[in-house]
Structure 1
Amino acid sequence: MRALAAAALAGVLVAALPATAALAADPKPDIAVTSAADKANYAEGETFTITVTVKNKSSVDAKRVHYTGGDSEGVDDVVYGELSTGFDLAAGATKTVQLTGKTNHVAWQRGYGYVAFELAADNGEANDADNITSVRLMVAGAFDDLGGYVFQGESYDAGWTPQTPGVEGVKVVATSADGKTKYAEATTDARGLFRLAQLPAGEVLLTFTAPAGWKILAGENGEYDHTPALVIADDSDEPQIYVPAKKVPVSSPSASPSASPSASSVAPSASPSAGPGLPVTGDNTMLFAVAGAVAVAAGIALALVARRRRVHLQA
């Protein structure tokens, strides 16, 4: 009896193995999606259209490709159309669909709105890396100020309190996110406070130039002198940016040129009427001059004595 039961169980397992292998080998569609807005900029309340390109990259037909979820900000009345109802997509095929909506006041305040969403097929998804897409909708027109502190700290994650000493004299420049367009410039006061006026809403890049003896610790690990920031119109006027800076040794100036030789080692300049002077050779020229004078005097004396002798002999 036990032998029959064991044989029956073995038969069930053997029968199940092909089915399991078939399930494991069953391929799934691979949905890839990209999207693009119809305009580069929008006004508040303007209707936008996003063109969505869906491609089935696998060799398996996709059944009812449809919107499964997503996120959005700064937009209203988004209509997904065929992405909501779904559509079949043959292996290797591509389909283009559209969705619409309107920008709202939040997009105007932040300088942009966005729509992000995910697609999938009823018969599965082979690769979740490329079935998600997002579109940013730029909304120009809003401006606001942006302020912050540059304060003394030993690391990039140093904390700030109202009692934390500031770093004075740091130049702060605000540019577009790509760094190509300059918007405004300011310098920190004695508290380390700076304020940049009338920046366009949206993402900006702040670059800090510290005075000698200070190093800016901006960025994720304090390795940079710049940091991104977001300008939101109608937002609080309170400072929003906090960047630490630490004291560093001041670089020594380069060595000054060697001092000129002292006056005692340089022959005095001759006056214009003195004629050319003797070259400086390091020899004691004065001693030679004196010796020469003595020799000349001795020669004159000998000549006089000899002359007297000739006169005496002639007499």
Structure 2
Amino acid sequence: MRKLAAAALVGVLVAVLPATAALAADPKPDIAVTSAADKANYAEGETFTITVTVKNKSSVDAKHVHYTGGDSEGVDGVAYGELSTGFDLAAGATKTVQITGKTNHVASQSGYGFVAFALAADNGEANDADNITSVRLLVAGVFDDLGGYVFQGESYDAEWTPRTPGVPGVKVVATSADGKTKYAEAITDAKGLFRFAHLPAGDVLLTFTAPAGWKILAGENGEDDHTLAQVSADDSDEPRVFVTAKKVAVSSPSATPTASSPSASASASASPSASASPSASSSAGPGLPVTGDNTMLFVGTAAVAVAVGMVLVLVARRRRVRLQA
């Protein structure tokens, strides 16, 4: 059995080694491509130029590097130039080429157009992950409304229906996609509905701040309080954004008063003799105004003086009676 196993292993190695050697002897070029537009914003019908940088990262010459297909929207008349005719690219070499076109009405309605494509060489491609590129062309000047719901749910992928309870009182702030420019803010109503008017077409970042007892479940995995939305100029006024909020426990403050709390200060400053019930204070009627004189001292002194005077009168009468006797 061992001899048979050894023979089988030798057979496998004999079959595999020539193929491995052939692959090693025939490496593929590795085409990497990046692209960038010549402007940050365009008007409808404006010509754009995209600079495409192509690099051969391998040690093998790339034969007839060319455009193999892609997609575009919001643009017309895209001319790929040398990417259509093709060119050779030596090992480790870099080449820049340009493609041109014009933005159209679709781009102005959605806020942008885009061009995406892939490149390849006739003698193969070692890595298909970096030979694809895309460029977004922003088109400013068109505005439209945007609305949505913040509704109750247990997970970020919960589904909204017209009967799903909303979350009122959520503040929604609309900014540019990079968060640097604030457009407007709104508060959800009793149904959880919010609406913005006159936002620029394109990507808009919506940030949500929920009232106490609620947690926003936005983003790809429900771990964010914000999400990107697309503003498009169309005839529909239907809400397009749906964000889940989950009810959470509200942490209550500690009931133990601290030394700085008003209740602690009041109890510390109040003495037993000074405490009086509200009913006693109200039944006694309004008190006399407090002045700087000690009224009780004067009353006591007057009482003593009257008593002394009465004693002196009695002593004087007794002496008179004795003298007459």
Fold-level similarity (TM above 0.5): yes
1:232 paired residue number: 232
Q: Which runs of 5+ in 1 are unaligned?
A: 1-12, 275-315
Equivalent residue, structure 1, for 2:283:
none
Change (3 A) 1:219 1:264: same
Q: Which residue of 2 aligns with 1:61?
A: 61
Q: Cα–Cα, structure 1 residues 23 and 149, in superposed 2: closer, same or farther, change >3 Å? A: closer
CA RMSD of aligned residues (A): 2.6
Query: Which residue number corresponds to residue 272 of structure 2?
Result: 264
TM-score (norm 2): 0.74
Instruction: State the one-letter code of the partner of 1:112.
Output: Y
Give the corresponding residue for 1:8. Answer: none
Matched, 1:151 2:158: no
Distance between the aligned counterparts of 2:56 and 2:188, measured in 1?
Answer: 55
CA apart distance, 1:129: 2.2
1:32-56: CA deviation from partner (whole Å, max 9, x where unpaired): 1111111111111111111111111
The 1:19–1:145 alpha-carbon spacing in structure 2 relative to 1, beyond 3 Å, is closer
Equivalences, count: 263
Q: Which whole-Å CA distance do the structure 2 matches of 1:18 and 1:208 have between them?
A: 62
Residues 1-315 of structure 1 correspond to what in structure 2 (within 5 A)?
21-255=21-255, 256=257, 257=261, 258=264, 259-261=266-268, 262-264=270-272, 272-273=292-293
C-alpha distance in structure 2 between counterparts of 1:272 and 1:20, whole Å: 111
Query: Cα deviations across residues 16-45 of structure 1 (Å, max 9, x unaligned)?
Result: 965762344312211111111111111111
Q: Match for 2:217: what amino acid?
A: L
Which deviations, in whole Å up to 9, do the C-alpha atoms of 1:162-188 show, x marking residues without a partner? 111211111111011111110011111
Once residues 241 and 18 of structure 1 are traced to their aligned partners in structure 2, the CA distance between those partners, rounded to angstroms, is 58
The 1:16–1:156 alpha-carbon spacing in structure 2 relative to 1, beyond 3 Å, is closer
- Which amino acid in 2 is paired with 1:81? G
* Alignment partners' CA distance in 2, 1:113 and 1:183: 22
Q: Which runs of 5+ in 2 are unaligned?
A: 1-12, 277-289, 295-325
Structure 2 residue identity aligned to 1:50: I
| 48 and 273 in structure 1: CA distance in 2 versus 1, 3 angstrom threshold | same
Superposed displacement of residue 228, structure 1: 1.0
Letter in 2 for 1:77: G
The amino acid across from 2:70 in the alignment is G
* Structure 1 residues 117 and 273, CA gap change in structure 2 (3 angstroms): same
- In structure 1, how many angstroms separate the alpha carbons of the residues matched to 2:218 and 2:187? 17
